[in-house]
Structure 1
Amino acid sequence: MTGGSATGLEVEGLVVRAGRHELVHGAAFSAPRAAVTAILGPNGAGKSTILRAIAGVEKPSAGAIRFRGDDLRSLGRRERAQRVAFVEQDATTDLPLDVHDVVSLGRTPYEPRWGGRDPNAATAIDGALAAARVEAFAERRFASLSGGERQRVMLARALAQQPRLLLLDEPTNHLDVAAQFELLALLREHADRGMTVVTALHDLTLAADQADAVVVIASGRVVANGPARETLTSELIREVYRVTARWTENPVTGRPMLVLGRRA
């Protein structure tokens, strides 16, 4: 395991069932603080289910989920939402909300219980809009946006929560190449400030280039967890993805680059 004990995310013995079908089988891994951890695996491996369980959207049948030493499963929804934000893969709403309204929902966990106003709302919302680069269309209706624009707005909503743990499910979906790198650079900025970022990614080469650590899932089981460049071996990729792979030097950046080849 990669790991920061009380300083990051720790998942132990996680089991998630849907009726009699077990979707996640005793998953155990850790994600360090102040780092970007990518959850990888083939389609249907269980990446989204694990993220939803950590976020509290899915109720696990068994297992422990701790963040900075605290048991997330024991927290109330309000307290959990002040620590953990989750950006789902596809966001839709039938409500006639503009972008600013959607992002402001990220402040709900901080609204006083007995009425009044959140004194930090305006600053947090404006900062989130700017960070996700969506302030230019803050007054537009959310429903009118493209898929990529919606994804950025939902990221802004999550950032408005000012979480310590940020979970994202395939956040680069609907984004062009430049926007993908821009988004991952933003996640890097927040990780460098101390946030724990855990994101499911479909693009293996992008994850290898951008993530500090990886969790590799296959058929609902964790098969590897550790630093990206040490964990993503040719042998592991052949076993999980059934393709050949090797590390080389990126001719543009000079950094190590994972190159995928033919089906193994």
Structure 2
Amino acid sequence: MARRTKVYEGKAKILYEGPEPGTYVQYFKDDTSAGDGAKKAQIEGKGVLNNRLSEYFMSGLNEIGVPTHFIKRINMREQLIRAVEIIPLEVVVRNVAAGSISKRLGIEEGTALPRPIVEFYYKNDDLHDPLVSEEHILAFGWATHQDLDDIVALALRVNDFLSGVMMGVGIKLVDFKIEIGRIYDGDFMRLVVADEISPDSCRLWDAKTGQKLDKDVFRRDLGNLSEAYTEVARRLGVMPSNATPITKPKLMN
């Protein structure tokens, strides 16, 4: 098997050169971190679950006309994606107060927001991804006025899609984070949803009990992260209804 060329390795994924120009292979790791890497662990099967769930969400967005970098899933841990120029922003959409907005503004966690709020964070691990305004984005040339209009429109369409899908399986979409990339076709440029959409990048609560089914399970030591992600996959039909959390194969004598 030919050795692949690694392009980039992040906290949860690795990018390799793809089989065709303008493509990458995105590999989902089992590595899990929180608090800017202060807390780390390996959660068996997390990469498999996130690959399948991200495929489910990205495919759904493509089908309703929201462009993404996703092309197809290759195997249990890898998917083929378009190469994009990532805008150095994390785009967060909030429907319910939780996490940093509760701490920052003193809003009780679980408070429904009057409308979806779109926030921007500058992608820089050394600076801990600070919250930035549209004025910062325009002043430093990270995006144009038109880009920002398009990004907000994309983010709200993703929110409508994810909220509806989750509501249908008894899950409340509290908030989520996406990244946006630029794809060039000659002189024409378009923006697409990139990176991943999974319980790593969303806050998901059971609509009746409020049980957390996302990365907060790991952040706050609330239980088994693999079980939480498996429950999301099971409700969405991504995994069989009798699925159990994924573990490493065991050798039999």
TM band (smaller chain) = 0.3 to 0.5
Flag the structure with more relative contact order, 1 or 2, with Cα contacts below 8 A and sequence separation at least 6.
1
TM-score in terms of structure 2 length: 0.33
